[in-house]
Amino acid sequence: MTGPLLALETTSAWCGIALWNDGGPVASHGFAQAMDLSSRLVPAVRDLLTEEGLTAEDLKGIAVSLGPGSFTGVRIGVATAKTLAQALDIPIAGVPTMTVLADPWLAVGLPLMVTIRARRGWYYIQKFQGDGTIDLVTNDQLMEMIQRTPDTLLVGDAVTHIEQPGCRVLPGSQRPDPLIVARIGYERLTAGDADDVMQLTPLYVGRSAAEERREGKRE
């Protein structure tokens, strides 16, 4: 593809939007996720486009961070991206949030584990070696994994809550960067690797807090 791509990253407490074009990054903007994300996201996109002298009709592609992360943020981000892709009839690429966080460090060549806070002492984790599956683990399980693999590099927002002697926490690696979402999405769409907009879904791991509350009421 050629032309500007819009990327949305709404999986964490700090949301981001970015523009990427043929020559690389164009612009990005971040803001704190709040209860009004659903009403703030589209105006924020519109403002960013206006600042760069663009309109939504100029966009040639959409990329979106799929999660895991904030259930509400993931849901709103993916739904907004899909709506824009359908309305503008442009291709879309979903990018797993764990991949976004790992991307800057993959070339280091050491074992890498992404850790994201879930809720109430639980963490999403993914090792970028071996099977690389995403798991939901407790704090104790996470500490045990770190002890077993002392050379593993740790990235993600959970690293600020880890106090483990010898763990190798990478600085400045806590937030997923919307520009990385944009670059990965742009590379995929340029290669013709678009997702089916109707089949694209958020990458949830575990149940949302709302689901757990409903389950608790039934018990």
> What's the whole-model pTM score?
0.90
What CATH number is given for 5-97+175-206 in this structure?
A: 3.30.420.40
In which residue ranges of the chain is pLDDT below 70?
A: 130-131, 161-167, 171-173, 206-219
pLDDT of residue 147: 82
What CATH number is given for 98-169 in this structure?
A: 3.30.420.200
d(CA 194, CA 213) in angstroms, rounded, equals 36
d(CA 196, CA 202) in angstroms, rounded, equals 13
pLDDT in tens, 71-87: 999 999 999 999 999 99
pLDDT of residue 1: 84
Token readout for 168 is 């190798």
Is 98-169 in the same CATH topology as 5-97+175-206? yes
Domain boundaries, the chain: 5-97+175-206, 98-169
